[in-house]
Every structure is written in C-alpha cells, then in structure tokens.
Amino acid sequence: MIHAKAIEKNAHCQTRQSSVHPHIMSTQLPHAHSPKQKAALTENPLIANLKHVHSIIAVSSGKGGVGKSTVASNLAVTLAKQGFRVGLMDADVYGPSISKMMGGKDAEVLQKDNQLIPVEKYGVKWMSMALLTDEDTPVIWRGPMATRLIQQFLGQVAWGQLDYLIIDLPPGTGDVQLTLTQSISLQGAIVVSTPQEVAVEVALRGIKMFDEVRVPILGIVENMSGVICTHCHQETPVFPQGVVKAKANELGIHYLGSIPLDPSVAIAGDQGQPISLASGPVATIFSDISSKMVAQLQEIEARTTEATESPTQISSDEKHVLLMWKDGSVSEIPFFDLRLACPCANCVNEATGKRMIEAKDIKQGIEPVGFRPVGKYGLQISWNDGHNTGIYTFNSLRSFGA
C-alpha cells in the first residue's frame, strides 16, 4: 500500500539535478540482495571534513546588495570576539566580497596535504573564491562549476575545530543553496533583508526553501533600516518601518535586530576592518544579534537531540528497503512502492501535486543501487533505472512503514 499523500515533495530535485555529483556523494549499496543485510553507508567526504565543526550557519538573502556579506563578516568577527572558534566561507561565488571585507584581498592561499589552508584574520578562519581567481578576470560561474567549488570549500579546506562556520551564500535560491543543503547538514540559516516590501517578499522565498529542506531559520536581520545622519547622528527612516518585523512575527521567525544605514559600516567594510572589530553602536547591535543566534541554536539543539527522525540503520533485502528507527521499529518498504512514490519534481507535478509516474512506467526488477543521506532530513535513492533525483524525507519514509 502506498501512502503517496504522506510523501513530501522536494521541489528542488527536478530543475537542478545536474548539481548532484553522485561520484562524490552517492553511497553504494554493496550487497543489495543479501537478505536483511546492512548496507554500509560510507562517510560523505564533505561531512568527514566538517566533523569538527559544531554548527554550520548560512547567511542568505533574496536579493544582492542588501548587506548579506556585511552581516556574515560582522557576525563572524563578533562571535570570534565572544571567544568562539569561527570560520567564514564565502560561497557567494557570483560576487565574493568576504576577502575585501576581511582585509585579505591579497592573502596567499597555502596548501598542505592536499588541503587549502584558510586565511586567519581577526580570529576568524576564512576562505573565498576571490583568493583563487584573478580579480581582473571575469569568471562565468555556471551551475556545475559553482557546485564543484562549494564542494571543494566544504571538503578540501582545512577548517579544523570550529564552533561556528558561517557561510555567506549568493543571493536567491540557486545551485549553491541546493548543493549545500544536499551535501551537508546546516544547523540554521539567517536571512538578511532590507525594509522595502519587495525585498522582504523576495527574502521570503529563501525562507520557504530552507523550510522545505528542514534547515531551521534562526531569524531575520533587517539591514539599512534607517539612515544615520553623519552630523546629528540621528536615525531617519527611509523605507516604511516595521515591515520586516511584522513579517517575522507573522511567520513565527525571530527578528534578530536591525542595522541602520550608516556610512561607517560601508567604510569599515571597504577598508577590510568590519565595524564590529571596534566598539560602537553597530558593534553592539551585532553582539546582540549573535547572542540571539547562539541562544536560538542552543534551543534548537536541545529540541532536536531527541526528536531527530533519521534511521539508525538503512539496509535492504531482495525486495525491500529496510529502515530501523531509534525506537527499534523497522520500516519494510517494497522497492516498487518506493520508486512509484518518488517525490521528485520529475515524478510529481510541483504545481498540482499530481503524480506523473505510474505503475506501468516502473521497470521490472526495479531496485536501489545507492543511498545517500541528505542533511538531517532525508535520503536520496539511486535506482537501477537511472533515476536518482528523489529525496525522500525521513518522515515520509517513516510513514510508509506505519
């Protein structure tokens, strides 16, 4: 019996399937036919490289130019000032500005044991693709290239022991976001928006994407909320006030704080000395934002420690995928039913929810050839008919066996 309704769709897997690199990420199922045999899940090399990183936080925005990199760099510096071990990864491949903002435009990237050594400045270990390319040479980053670069930054930079790895994402919801959420487990995302209604609307799309892939939204930061006059130092609102806060409240998302449009923020960024390095009103705001973020993460961690729905074992017999859950129960899901219930956008119409694959479309002897855990929320299955874009959430898999 197929519980198709319980299967949650993953809206991303159709349009951007080219960004999945099975040779790196697929976990082969070595003995799919031995009865009740455990399929060993080989360790994802990206996850292995990040195993000493406690929390990975994405900083995202709907649009460019809203101050996302400014927030990412200041947050990193602030956390380092607070005594945390911090990394900052510039994943904004289309407009990398971290190296400039962190005052290391000309820093040399060293290699050791086939790994890139991150630059260390202001107590933050950081890496940007701007260090690897010639500034004057325009790089046209097509999806697969950006994907490879992100995988390299995740898997081949010697991040070492970190409390927080802050990732500065490109604006929007493209290949980089997909690669990240499919490759590693993000502990949370911060969304940066300016106060204009249109910017807030665009930011919401990003929030929706993180929701879909079960990345908790730690909160929204409002940037450029009003102008600080350089003479009287008073703040004048430029855009309608309260839009971001109201939206955050409506969605049940934390409003982490608002940063004024202050020329000293831009100057500090241009000089490669994030404003939070020194004390001052904006540094205090960032300190408050980072404390709220840390508190949020701790709360989420406490809530999810027990509740994580990932299976403790994934294996198969001749006809079923077998999933053992934390409580000891086992879901026995027939290959055929699982293939038919594929939630990817090739198999389910994203707009109508109508299933496009039918039983007659499924080949005789269908069976999985590879499993790959995706973040903390699901399992990507590669099939012997060549299909591999379906990411089944753990919750949906659990409901199969009910």
Q: Using CB under 6 A as the criterion, which residues of the chain lie in contact with ligand ADP when the complex forms?
A: 61, 64-70, 95, 97, 223-224, 259, 261-262, 265-266, 269
Minimum CB separation from ligand ADP for residue 160, in Å?
A: 26
CA 236 distance to own-chain centroid:
35
* Residue whose structure tokens are 């701007």: 130
Minimum CB separation from ligand ADP for residue 262, in Å?
A: 5
The tokens for 272 are 């490669």
Question: Is the Cβ of residue 191 or residue 345 nearer to ligand ADP in the bound state?
Answer: 191
Question: Is the Cβ of residue 195 or residue 269 nearer to ligand ADP in the bound state?
Answer: 269
SS3 category, 8:
coil
Question: Is the Cβ of residue 256 or residue 344 nearer to ligand ADP in the bound state?
Answer: 256
- Contact present, 301 and 386 (Cβ < 8 Å): no
Q: What is the DSSP string of 180-227?
A: HHHHS---EEEEEE-SSHHHHHHHHHHHHHHHHTTPPEEEEEEEEEEE
Question: Is the Cβ of residue 119 or residue 259 nearer to ligand ADP in the bound state?
Answer: 259
Question: Is the Cβ of residue 154 or residue 224 nearer to ligand ADP in the bound state?
Answer: 224
Minimum CB separation from ligand ADP for residue 63, in Å?
A: 7
The tokens for 247 are 């939206």
Minimum CB separation from ligand ADP for residue 83, in Å?
A: 25
Question: Is the Cβ of residue 14 or residue 196 nearer to ligand ADP in the bound state?
Answer: 196
Minimum CB separation from ligand ADP for residue 282, in Å?
A: 7
Minimum CB separation from ligand ADP for residue 174, in Å?
A: 14
Question: Is the Cβ of residue 85 or residue 247 nearer to ligand ADP in the bound state?
Answer: 247
Question: Is the Cβ of residue 51 or residue 231 nearer to ligand ADP in the bound state?
Answer: 231
SS3 category, 279:
coil
Question: Is the Cβ of residue 129 or residue 265 nearer to ligand ADP in the bound state?
Answer: 265
Exposed / middle / buried, residue 41 (Cβ in 10 Å: 0-12, 13-18, 19+): middle
Separation CA 340–CA 133 (nearest Å):
45
Minimum CB separation from ligand ADP for residue 197, in Å?
A: 18
Minimum CB separation from ligand ADP for residue 338, in Å?
A: 41
Instruction: Determine the residue type at 392.
Output: Y
Question: Is the Cβ of residue 256 or residue 374 nearer to ligand ADP in the bound state?
Answer: 256
Q: Kindly state the helix (H) or strand (E) to which residue 127 belongs, with its residue range.
A: strand 124-128
Minimum CB separation from ligand ADP for residue 64, in Å?
A: 4
- Contact present, 187 and 57 (Cβ < 8 Å): yes
Instruction: Determine the residue type at 20.
Output: V
- Residues linked to residue 10 through DSSP beta bridges, in sequence order: none
Strands 86-90 vs 124-128: parallel, antiparallel or unpaired:
parallel
Instruction: Tell which residue, 112, 110, 140, 144, has the closest CA to residue 127.
Output: 110
Separation CA 92–CA 110 (nearest Å):
21
Separation CA 164–CA 178 (nearest Å):
20
Separation CA 16–CA 178 (nearest Å):
8
Separation CA 305–CA 322 (nearest Å):
23
Minimum CB separation from ligand ADP for residue 272, in Å?
A: 11
